[in-house]
């Protein structure tokens, strides 16, 4: 039998060998105690030998029984930790007490209670010590092999944060990923921790040492392992990390950690959202709960980016029924499947239908009788709508008109239109069509029992067709990353942020308002591209080129959230404002809508005709060249 066969045999019979070692150490411990209590350290007398033999035989049975009951032989020594060692110690102490009790109860000549207690302590020390030695030998062999095999391929890793999560990460890395990562150190802003170590890894300095340490140690990867941190502080640290050229990965949220998710599996790439530095949004959940609980809620466009997130957040407030309407069956199926899996006790209904189809919308309102409507269905892509202007009018304008008329006819309590900053002084068909949507709900509100309101906000990060997913795809393909203009800016908000504020704004609606969300400071799209490239551990215009392509049709350099004539008032929420309602009479608006309806039957139909007609309906609609000239 060669060495490999012997090792294989020992692995398969690991428990037997460990039990034999424990029994051998138990005998050694009792012998040591027996010799130690003799002043002359003389050889045992015949009576001493009998007592020793009785004690050892009884102890072997008792110790093996209790160590088995405590699952001590089910552990893999390589993965044992402090908790396992405490169990070993506890099992040994219980066993030594039981040995003494059994000797007393059954009148067996055995060593006294003090000797048994001392032996229990020794056995604990022996068991834990040899297991630690085996674990260290195995770990050292893994480290040694990793250094020999993968020294040139391992990535130098810096960890940000010196808390419990870092300890867990280090343990996982040392146990399973020595071939992948070489941990060079830890960064922590707590001055009292600097130069101390966590699990053998030294804390090298605070955030201001990150760039210097990355240069000195050739850091390839940074793990940001602080889950509970102020958003502005997080932004500052991540901005420093961006300048190192290292790939950055980030710890999962506190919620994920509490749920017990594997930390390494949950580590994710840093997203632009992490760099916005926004404070967490505080909501009045009591108001939202009162709005939604036990109500039938209809979400149009419920399979889209905003619509699906609305559904995810609405369902948490236990509506009587959530009706999700969308024309695109794949998205609708996905959100239905997700919600029914996560909320099996809630009443969720997925409905195929188009807001363009007035008859279908009336069928939906007749069957489900919603009391609250969130209208998110819309065509939103600016260049596509410039090339297909009539489709924008059909879907956005008349889709909204159909849905709003149904809401009024069927006495819906509240109707919330999801609008956009592109409706303000629009320079494209999409923005102009959404402005008409706002005009529709403000006009209908005057004559209806239903409370109509709109919520206006800018771009949402990560939504379908938005710039961030496009940039990521371009980076993954090796570039170039395309930006239309170096100075173009946009307001950005995360999808969950936007939807939370939509729900909060909906609780304030009394009819006719346009709520404007505080989007923070506008962000340069060029800067976003640079950040995304750096977050990927690459250098802009070195590893990934950035190409300026020129403004697209209908695109302007910056967006606005408010028209000058609207005015602005605060609400109870510091991130929600309300514009002064504008006066639109329904009969006047109907005349304008008829001019748009007639476009479909106009034999002279052209994009230019549609654009000029839309300008007559929306006086603030201007060509982008006019607006961009003013900006410059």
Tell me which residues are annotated as active site: 422
Closest CA to 173 of 185, 165, 181: 181
Which residue is associated with the tokens 């010799």?
35
Residue 133: which H helix or E strand, with range?
helix 113-150
Burial zone of 120 (CB within 10 Å; 0-12 exposed, 13-18 middle, 19+ buried): buried
Distance CA 326, CA 304 (A): 8
- In sequence order, what DSSP letters do the residues of 243-259 get, joined into one string? TTT-EEEEPPPHHHHHT
Which residue is associated with the tokens 């990353």?
481
The token pair that represents 17 in the structure block: 């060998």
End-to-end Cα separation, the chain, in angstroms:
85
Q: Tell me if the bond preceding 112 is cis, omega within 30° of 0.
A: no
The token pair that represents 60 in the structure block: 């072997």
Distance CA 92, CA 95 (A): 5
SS (H, E, C) 472-539: HHHHHCCCCEEECCCCCEECEEEHHHHHHHHHHHHHHCCCCCEEEECCCCCEEHHHHHHHHHHHCCCC
Q: Are strands 201-205 and 197-198 parallel, antiparallel or unpaired?
A: antiparallel
Residue 298: which H helix or E strand, with range?
strand 296-300
Four-residue CA torsion sign, 606, 607, 612, 614 = positive
Sheet of 247-250, strands arranged across: 197-198, 201-205, 181-187, 155-160, 221-224, 247-250, 268-269
Residues forming beta bridges with residue 374, ordered by sequence position: 299, 416
Residue 455: which H helix or E strand, with range?
strand 451-457
DSSP 230: -
Burial zone of 364 (CB within 10 Å; 0-12 exposed, 13-18 middle, 19+ buried): buried
Say how many C-beta atoms besides its own lie within 10 A of residue 396's C-beta. Answer: 26
Distance CA 267, CA 181 (A): 15
- 558 neighbors 522 (Cβ within 8 angstroms): yes
Give start and end residues of each alpha helix (H) in 38-112: 46-69, 82-105
Say how many C-beta atoms besides its own lie within 10 A of residue 83's C-beta. Answer: 7
The token pair that represents 309 in the structure block: 């997130």
- 356 neighbors 402 (Cβ within 8 angstroms): yes
């Amino acid at each position: 039998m060669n060495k490999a066969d012997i090792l294989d045999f020992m692995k398969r019979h690991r428990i037997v060998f460990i039990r034999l070692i424990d029994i051998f150490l138990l005998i050694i411990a009792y012998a040591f105690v027996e010799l130690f209590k003799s002043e002359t350290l003389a050889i045992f007398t015949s009576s001493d030998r009998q007592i020793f033999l009785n004690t050892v035989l009884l102890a072997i049975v008792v110790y093996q029984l209790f160590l088995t009951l405590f699952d001590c032989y089910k552990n893999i020594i390589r993965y044992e930790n402090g908790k396992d060692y405490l169990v070993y110690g506890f099992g040994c102490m219980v066993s030594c007490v039981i040995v003494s009790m059994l000797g007393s109860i059954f009148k067996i000549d055995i060593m006294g209670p003090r000797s048994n207690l001392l032996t229990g302590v020794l056995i604990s020390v022996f068991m834990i010590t040899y297991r630690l030695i085996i674990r260290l030998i195995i770990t050292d062999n893994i480290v040694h092999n990793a250094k020999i095999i993968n020294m040139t391929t391992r990535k130098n890793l810096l960890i940000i944060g010196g808390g419990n999560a870092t300890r867990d990460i280090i343990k996982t890395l040392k146990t399973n990923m020595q071939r992948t990562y070489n941990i060079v150190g830890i960064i922590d802003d707590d001055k009292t921790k600097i130069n101390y170590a966590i699990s053998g890894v030294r804390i090298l300095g605070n955030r201001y040492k990150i760039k210097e340490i990355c240069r000195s140690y050739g850091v390839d990867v940074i793990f940001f392992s602080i889950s509970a941190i102020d958003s502005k502080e997080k932004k500052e640290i991540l901005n420093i990390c961006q300048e190192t050229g290292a790939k950055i990965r980030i710890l999962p949220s506190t919620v994920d950690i509490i749920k017990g998710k594997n930390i390494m599996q949950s580590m994710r790439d840093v997203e632009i959202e992490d760099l916005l530095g926004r404070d967490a949004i505080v909501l009045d959940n009591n108001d939202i709960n009162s709005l939604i609980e036990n109500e039938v809620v209809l979400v149009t466009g419920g399979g889209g980016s905003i619509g699906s997130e609305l559904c995810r957040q609405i369902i948490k407030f236990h509506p009587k029924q959530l009706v999700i309407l969308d024309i695109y069956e794949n998205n609708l199926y996905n959100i239905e499947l997700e919600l029914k899996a996560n909320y099996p006790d809630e009443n969720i209904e997925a409905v195929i239908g188009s807001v363009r189809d007035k008859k279908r919308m009336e069928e939906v309102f007749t069957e489900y009788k919603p009391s609250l409507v969130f209208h998110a269905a819309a065509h939103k892509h600016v260049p596509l709508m410039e090339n297909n202007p009539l489709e924008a009018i059909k879907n956005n304008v008349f889709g909204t008109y159909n849905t709003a008329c149904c809401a009024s006819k069927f006495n819906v309590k509240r109707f919330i239109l999801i609008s956009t900053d592109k409706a303000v002084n629009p320079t494209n068909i999409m923005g102009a069509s959404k402005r008409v949507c706002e005009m529709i709900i403000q006009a209908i509100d005057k004559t209806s029992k239903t409370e109509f309101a709109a919520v206006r906000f800018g771009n949402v990060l990560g939504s379908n067709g938005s710039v961030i997913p496009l940039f990521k795809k371009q980076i993954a393909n090796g570039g170039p990353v395309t930006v239309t203009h170096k100075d173009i800016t946009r307001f950005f908000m995360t999808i969950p942020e936007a939807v939370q504020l939509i729900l909060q704004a909906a609780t304030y609606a009394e009819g006719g308002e346009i709520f404007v969300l505080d989007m923070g400071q506008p962000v340069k799209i060029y800067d976003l591209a640079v950040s995304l490239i750096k977050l990927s551990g690459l250098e802009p215009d070195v590893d990934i080129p950035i190409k300026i392509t020129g403004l697209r049709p209908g695109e302007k350099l910056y967006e606005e959230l408010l028209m000058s004539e609207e005015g602005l008032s605060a609400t109870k929420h510091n991130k929600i404002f309300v514009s002064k309602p504008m006066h639109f009479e329904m009969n006047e608006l109907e005349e304008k809508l008829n001019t748009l309806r007639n476009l479909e039957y106009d034999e002279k139909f052209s994009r230019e005709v549609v654009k000029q007609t839309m300008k007559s309906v929306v006086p603030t609609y201007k060509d982008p060249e006019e607006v961009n000239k003013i900006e410059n």
